[in-house]
Structure 1
Amino acid sequence: MATAKKTAPKKTAAKKTAPKKATAVAKPARAAPKESPMKGSTIDAYVGALETWQQEIARPFAALIAKVAPNSSAYIKWGHPVWDHGGPFALLKPAKAHVTLGFWRGGQMKDAEGLLEGDGDGMRYVKIKSGQQLPSSLAELVREAVALNTQHGDPLKR
């Protein structure tokens, strides 16, 4: 007598399902990061877009650099005006309560009147507030910044 071969029921592979995701909670809308409206702009256009009191600092600073360092170039980089002579030597950066005038090699400058703020041998700056005039010794700082770049080269290259 032949016996029927009993076969075990076929196991079906259990479908792997991803765990249920929690229902998404709507996040408040985030403002898209602002691209600088001055990207690709000229120094004059950049300064023209500043608050009036900031313009009263920026224009004389730009004019001072044009007079003291006529062979320098100016452009917008890192979101603000930068002046270059063999590498960047000065910058202008507006803030809510002041305008920063920075010097890449400020830590190496003599700064006889003690105008420059900051630590280290790199960037130092002068903060000018609304209603303040540019210090008369700023011209000497610009001259020295250009001379240091001429002597040592681009401060961004080590």
Structure 2
Amino acid sequence: MKKEAIGAKDGEIEEASSLIDARIKELSDWRGETLAKVRALIRQADPDVVEEWKWRVPVWSHAGIICTGETYKNAVKMTFAKGASLEDPSRLFNASLEGNTRRAIDVHEGDEIDEEALKVLINAAVTFNTSRTT
């Protein structure tokens, strides 16, 4: 994982990763397992991803926010900051579909994650973010 973020210090990035570890551990149920799996898939899709902790939730960034990882009683929600601008050929987005900017994926207990399609979506978000900064 890349240890650089605009305006972030190494200690902040390490602290964010520790806070995400703690969130996964404290959940200790299917939500923690799902959040850990999502985190691993994000890291696989983008080895340069930066983990952050904002709004009391995990945030993954690369030249801007890729997505957040919110946990609720009945779902783990991946909210893609610029999801409305991304192609979603596998139709993973299943929540927050009415807005002009964000899109989300709600994962419920027992749901299977299409790992390859999610990695494609993550890479699309990175491509979108990096194309806007050059």
- Bin of the TM-score, shorter chain as denominator length: 0.7 to 0.9
Equivalent residue of 1:55, what SS?
helix
Please, what TM-score do these two structures have when normalized by structure 2? 0.79
2:120 aligned with 1:143: no
- 1:121 pairs, out of 100, 115, 119, with 100
Give runs of ≥4 in structure 1 deviating > 2 Å: 39-42
Identity of aligned residues (%): 29
* 8 Å contact from structure 1 (residues 107, 119) kept in 2: no
* 8 Å contact from structure 2 (residues 24, 33) kept in 1: no
Equivalent residue of 1:43, what SS?
helix
Matches within 5 A, 1:89-108: 89-108=66-85
Give the whole-Å Cα distance in 2 for the aligned partners of 1:146 and 1:82.
13
Unaligned 5+ segments in structure 2 are 1-14
Q: Could you tell me how far 1:96 is from its partner in structure 2?
A: 0.9
1:79 alignment counterpart: 56
* 8 Å contact from structure 2 (residues 23, 32) kept in 1: no
Q: Could you tell me how far 1:112 is from its partner in structure 2?
A: 0.6
Amino acid of the residue matched to residue 134 of structure 1?
I
Give the whole-Å Cα distance in 2 for the aligned partners of 1:132 and 1:73.
26
Give the whole-Å Cα distance in 2 for the aligned partners of 1:133 and 1:55.
15
- 1:68 pairs, out of 39, 45, 57, with 45
Unaligned 5+ segments in structure 1 are 1-38, 154-158
The alignment yields a C-alpha RMSD, in angstroms, of 1.6
* 8 Å contact from structure 1 (residues 85, 150) kept in 2: yes
- Aligned residue pairs total 115
Q: Could you tell me how far 1:119 is from its partner in structure 2?
A: 2.1
Give the whole-Å Cα distance in 1 for the aligned partners of 2:52 and 2:27.
16
Quick check: which has more Rg, 1 or 2? 1
Q: Could you tell me how far 1:120 is from its partner in structure 2?
A: 3.0
Equivalent residue of 2:42, what SS?
helix
